[in-house]
Amino acid sequence: MAGRITFWQILGPALTHRAISVAPRWKGRAAVNKRTIALLSLAAIVLLLTAFVGFGPAFATQLRACQSATNNPYATNCLSSASGAVVIGFVLYLAGALAALVAWIMGLITTAHIRRWGWFVAVLLISPLGSLLYGLAGPTQRNA
C-alpha cells in the first residue's frame, strides 16, 4: 500500500537516541542478538529444572504444612517459618521464570520483525524451548 505507515516510521526517531538504540539499524535484519535469546532460554531451563528437581520436595512439604495449619489461629507463622531450601527454590523459580519471559518476548519481537511466522509460532507456543531453538538455529534475516 502506498499510504501505509509503519511502526518504525512513527516511533523510530523517538527510539534512536544513542543511549537507547531500540530501532533496528538494518531493514529486514533482527534487532536482537540470537545468542542473547539462546543464553536466556538456556538459563531459564537450567534454573527451572534446578528449582523443581532440587528444591521442589522442600517447597511441597512447606506448602503441605501450611495447608494443614489453616485451622490454626497462628497460620501466618507458616509463611514466616520457611526453611532455607524453600526460599532458595522459590528464588530459583522466579529467576527462571523471569529469564524465560524475557527470552520469549525477545524471540517474539525478533521473529515478527524479520517476518518469519513459522519461527514466531514455534516461539509463541513452546517457550522456552522454542526460544532456545530459535536462538540456536533460527534465521537472522527475512526471506528474499
**Parent domain of 72:** 33-137
Mean pLDDT throughout 119-133?
90
Bridge partner residues of 141 (DSSP): 29
Residue 5 maps to a domain: no
Query: Between 13 and 143, where is the model more confident?
Result: 143
* Contact between 96 and 81 (Cβ < 8 Å): no
Residue 72 maps to a domain: yes
Residue 16 maps to a domain: no
For the chain, percent of residues with pLDDT exceeding 90: 39
Per the structure, how many domains does the chain have?
1
pLDDT of residue 23: 47
- Helix (DSSP H) and strand (DSSP E) numbers for the chain: 7, 0
Residue 52 maps to a domain: yes
Q: What is the pTM of this model?
A: 0.69
* Contact between 92 and 30 (Cβ < 8 Å): no
Residue 19 maps to a domain: no
Residue 22 maps to a domain: no
Residue 56 maps to a domain: yes
Query: Between 34 and 1, where is the model more confident?
Result: 34
* Contact between 122 and 130 (Cβ < 8 Å): yes
Q: What is the DSSP secondary-structure string of 3-50?
A: T---HHHHHHHHH--TTT--S-SSTTB-SS-HHHHHHHHHHHHHHHHI
Residue 85 maps to a domain: yes
